[in-house]
Chain A
Amino acid sequence: MNDQNQNDTGLGETGTDSFDAGVAKVARETYHTPPETPRDDMWAVIQAARAADVVPIRRFRPQPWWAAVAAALVIGVVLGRGTLGGPDAATTVADGGANVPAAVDGATPEGTPDGSANLVPRSYRFAAARHLNRSETFLTMFRVDARSDQLNDVDIGTWSKRLLTDTRLLLDSPAGGDPELRRLLSDLELVLAQIVQLRTGDPNEVEIIDEGLESSQLLFRLKAAQATAPATVGL
């Protein structure tokens, strides 16, 4: 290897070592230099995500506040889906969502050791922020893949179905009671539903989705919503 290196660069062994050390030094100083680690922000998301949906089944130990979040989501789904199709569907869903925190908050103090009533709204807020982040990543990758004719059925099907389910859960949860977030989630739901039903061999369908992404500025709005997550989510 060293002989080859010397032939390529004309550097002797000592020169090669110095060169490698110099490259490493410049890379350490300039190559994708990381900003300060956002410890607390990431920890909040990790906590919320673990509480909301990634408790492993074998290790599952029911906790009152976790149960409250799950119950709120289920109630939201039942109320929301039960009224879909009626003339006041949107209002009913929003109202149903708005009423849930009160009910949950009412249940939380007796279920949590410290009696905190704010755990559920915080969980929804962080769950929404995390969902928007994942959706943005997915849609960006989808657009890149679509434009380079490299769409993968399996990846896209799995991701989009999961994201669509989560979007609908959020829409029917208290988080959906925030008008701005609701509009964003509704637009996201539409695009994801199109992607779920996409036949990847059809370039026209891909183009329509791509144009829809552009015209609705969905990616930009997702990014903006994350930047102002607490205010946007409004919880």
Chain B
Amino acid sequence: MFYYVDVSGADLKPDSFEELAMPLFDQLFNFARWMTQNREEAEDLVQETYTKALKGFSSFQLGTNFRAWMYRILRNTFLTSRTGLKVTMTVPLDTEEGGPEFAIESDTPETLMFERSNRELLQGAMDELPINFREILLLCEVEEMSYQEIAETLSVPIGTVMSRLSRARRALRDRLRAPLQKSGTAGIAKGTVTKGTNHGL
């Protein structure tokens, strides 16, 4: 879903801010909670985001993406917070040498995940991802943002979005593979997951 504001400058009143911003409340909180990994900090972050956004609403550029603008404020606010600065200290650098990902000729994390429906395991793996991988996965998969929207939100070129997303997915798969294979040995041994399974196709 996109939130492009096509109102004229004269219509940019606080009331329209509330109308635009409050529908994003739940998803912004979810994103903030994933970023901070703490409920109270997430509430503070969302509160500060809305305050800043309301203050800056008059400078919001028409024709740009309101949702991306709100996420950008939230993200910038988080990155300048104590927690944000701490987590960004350990963020791996982006490189454009992602390299292609090929089909894995064994049980993949996806098939194991599908069979086991282990949501908690996936959430745990997402929690452990470096912050820049976690945020881009959330924006792409949960918020279903386009690459363009993600680029606007993160203030990076689309090429960086693509390479970072690829690296984030690979990192998640790597994190899932070990515990899944360890804990799922029994199920695999029974042949519940087969190579190149195409159930449902």
**Do A and B associate with each other?**
no
Q: Which residues of A contact B (CB under 8 A)?
A: none
Residues of B in contact with A (beta carbons under 8 Å apart)? none
